[in-house]
Amino acid sequence: MSTAFVLLGLLARGPRHGYELKREHDNRLPRARPLAFGQVYATIGRLIRDGLIDEAGQDKGAGPERMSYVLTEQGREKLAGWLAAVEEPAPHVQSTVLTKVIVALFGSDDAVAARAYLSAQRRAHVNRMRELTKERSDPQASIADVAAADYAIQHLDADVRWMQTTLDRVDALHREVARS
Amino acid sequence: MNDPVLQAEGLVRSYGKTQALRGLSVTIASGEIVAVSGPSGCGKSTLLHCLAGIIVPDSGAVRYRGQPLGEMSEKQRSRLRRTSFGVLFQFGQLVAELPAVDNVGLPLLLGGYQKRIADSKSLEWLQRLGVAEVASALPSEMSGGQAQRVALARAMVTEPEVLFADEPTGALDSLAGEQVLEVLTSHARQRNMTVVLVTHDAKVAAYADREVLLRDGAQLAAEVPA
Ligand SMILES: Nc1ncnc2c1ncn2[C@@H]1O[C@H](COP(=O)(O)OP(=O)(O)OP(=O)(O)O)[C@@H](O)[C@H]1O
Ligand SMILES: [Mg+2]
């Protein structure tokens, strides 16, 4: 699930408390459903268990809300792997793609990683569109096959157009994300 | 890769202060269908015109089957364009005074074919591309999408070795565009015709074997193999 990666991405900028992670998650990801605290601490628990984050120290007082967390080396690698991995080109992946772009931008000093990811994702989408176009051009294909292939092609195309536009404005997007 | 038909190396081309191509290299193999895509103004048409020998780059070279276009005489180049290349320009270029059938037959007449044969080949292509009904219409009497298909018929009628098509479906709705692309690519694949297909539309690029993606006059990503 991408929530875990978003938390890793937030921790890439430095240690955070659980409540800070929740607040930043809710504020930074456009139109994200707000995380429940229970979900934040459950995710933190799993990330600690998997060695991806560590407890960084306790403020005065007790309770989990006083604890801050840091990314481990392993967590940093896991995050980088996720950010670089292309999503399987299927209709409606755009929200995951958008999340990746935002996380790639706020953990970084420049837009290089976001640009590389978007280009790779665009390429994967166009490759998939090429396969589907071949399927629908097959003389054996029924009209229903063609209509089904078209459905996927047109949705992938919408994502590709969004990726192209976002590539064209990724530097401006980075400036905005890095500022906030 | 098969034998390269076209090799462009280090193409630079400016219009005044605008650098349309900045050191672009690309190799196109025999029988390949290559899409050239990228945002508006990135240099797609300029690249196509350089590859087809219509304009000369400021520096860099285009080779056709190993022979640099820049070392041919204008006469040799224009023969090459007439016999081996077919070009569909982004913005029409039909002869305004001629009906569709004569527009399409024109390159055949110039190549020495008899009028009767030119007419029948012309009609055949108008039919394939779904515009037989405008055969006797003048360009001013056609819709934009019909004129575009007539212009494509004219580029295809000589069965060129290399077809250069600049936004061949730009004026068509998606169903008509699809029919034209099916006809074009299936014909090219049967005849081992090489096609350079300029488009800013990923759906059109998906008909090609691979995509050359431009941005600001240079190649953006590695070429995408099928
Ligand atoms: N004849 C010309 N005179 C001056 N500038 C030109 C000329 N032709 C092209 N340009 C400029 O060169 C650049 C590349 O133009 P080109 O026509 O190759 O782009 P394109 O990728 O084909 O764009 P489009 O998708 O809009 O057709 C643009 O900035 C354009 O303004
Ligand atoms: Mg153009």
B14 in ligand 1 pocket by Cβ < 6 Å?
Answer: no
pLDDT at B224: 41
Query: Do residue A118 and residue A157 come from a single domain?
Result: yes
Residue B133: Cβ-neighbour burial (10 angstroms; 0-12, 13-18, 19+): exposed
> How many domains is chain A partitioned into structurally?
2
Query: Do residue A79 and residue A112 come from a single domain?
Result: no
Which positions ≥6 away from B74 have C-beta within 8 Å? none
pLDDT at B223: 42
Q: Determine the structural domain holding residue A168 and report its residue range.
A: 96-179
Per the CB < 8 A criterion, the answer to whether A41 and A64 are in contact is yes
Query: Do residue A110 and residue A52 come from a single domain?
Result: no
Q: Which residue from A119, A126, A168 is facing B202, i.e. has the nearest CB?
A: A126
Among the residue ranges A103-112, A148-157, B23-32, the one predicted with the least confidence is A103-112
Query: Do residue A79 and residue A101 come from a single domain?
Result: no
Q: Which residue from A130, A164, A168 is facing B206, i.e. has the nearest CB?
A: A130
In this structure, what DSSP letter does residue B224 have? B
Per the CB < 8 A criterion, the answer to whether A152 and A132 are in contact is yes
- pLDDT tens profile B33-73: 999 998 889 999 999 999 999 999 999 999 999 999 999 98
Query: Do residue A107 and residue A172 come from a single domain?
Result: yes
Strand pairing report for A53-58 and A67-71: antiparallel
Mean pLDDT of chain A: 88
Query: Do residue A77 and residue A101 come from a single domain?
Result: no
A-B C-beta contacts closer than 8 Å: 39
A122 located within any domain: yes
**B221 to chain A: which residues are within 8 Å by CB?**
119, 123
Query: Do residue A21 and residue A66 come from a single domain?
Result: yes
pLDDT at A91: 65
A24 located within any domain: yes
B49 CA distance to ligand 2 middle (Å): 10
> What span, in angstroms and rounded, lies between the C-alpha atoms of B105 and B121?
7
pLDDT at A32: 72
ipTM of the complex: 0.85
3-state SS track over A33-90:
CCCCHHHHHHHHHHHHHCCCEEEEEECCCCCHHHEEEEECHHHHHHHHHHHHCCCCCC
In this structure, what DSSP letter does residue A165 have? H
Mean pLDDT of A81-101: 82
| Beta-bridge partners for B162 | B85, B194
A106 located within any domain: yes
> What span, in angstroms and rounded, lies between the C-alpha atoms of A141 and A132?
11
Last residue of a domain, one of A37, A55, A84: A84
Last residue of a domain, one of A58, A84, A110: A84
Contact with chain A for residue B96, Cβ under 8 A: no
Among B46, B196, B204, B216, say which to mutate for ligand 1: greatest number of ligand atoms within 8 Å of CB.
B46
Half-sphere exposure of B139 (CA within 13 A, CB side): 16
Query: Do residue A112 and residue A78 come from a single domain?
Result: no
- Give which of B32, B2, B4 is closest to B192, Cα–Cα: B32
Label residue A101 by pLDDT band (50, 70, 90): confident
pLDDT at A30: 67
A23 located within any domain: yes
pLDDT at A65 over 90: no
Mean pLDDT of B119-145: 96
Query: Do residue A51 and residue A110 come from a single domain?
Result: no
B44 in ligand 1 pocket by Cβ < 6 Å?
Answer: yes
pLDDT at B188 over 80: yes
| Beta-bridge partners for B209 | none
Per the CB < 8 A criterion, the answer to whether B54 and B81 are in contact is yes
Query: Do residue A11 and residue A36 come from a single domain?
Result: yes
- pLDDT tens profile A144-173: 889 889 989 999 999 999 999 998 899 998
pLDDT at B225 over 50: no
Indicate which ligand has the atom closest to the C-alpha of B201. 1
> What span, in angstroms and rounded, lies between the C-alpha atoms of A114 and A166?
10
pLDDT at A88: 83
> What span, in angstroms and rounded, lies between the C-alpha atoms of B136 and B141?
10
A80 located within any domain: yes
Mean pLDDT of A133-143: 91
A90 located within any domain: no
Contact with chain B for residue A132, Cβ under 8 A: yes
pLDDT at B212 over 90: yes
B29 CA distance to ligand 2 middle (Å): 23
A116 located within any domain: yes
- pLDDT tens profile B64-110: 999 999 999 888 988 898 889 999 998 878 999 999 999 999 999 99
Domain CATH number, residue A64:
1.10.10.10
Query: Do residue A101 and residue A127 come from a single domain?
Result: yes
Last residue of a domain, one of A84, A107, A136: A84
A89 located within any domain: no
| Beta-bridge partners for A94 | none
pLDDT at B226: 37
B38 CA distance to ligand 1 middle (Å): 12
- pLDDT tens profile A42-55: 999 999 999 999 99
What percent of chain A is modeled with pLDDT above 90?
51
CA A18 vs CA A22, A35, A54, A71, A90: distances in Å? 6, 11, 12, 13, 33
Query: Do residue A47 and residue A109 come from a single domain?
Result: no
pLDDT at A90 over 90: no
B200 in ligand 1 pocket by Cβ < 6 Å?
Answer: yes
| This prediction's pTM | 0.83
Q: Which residue from A119, A160, A168 is facing B202, i.e. has the nearest CB?
A: A160
B91 CA distance to ligand 2 middle (Å): 9
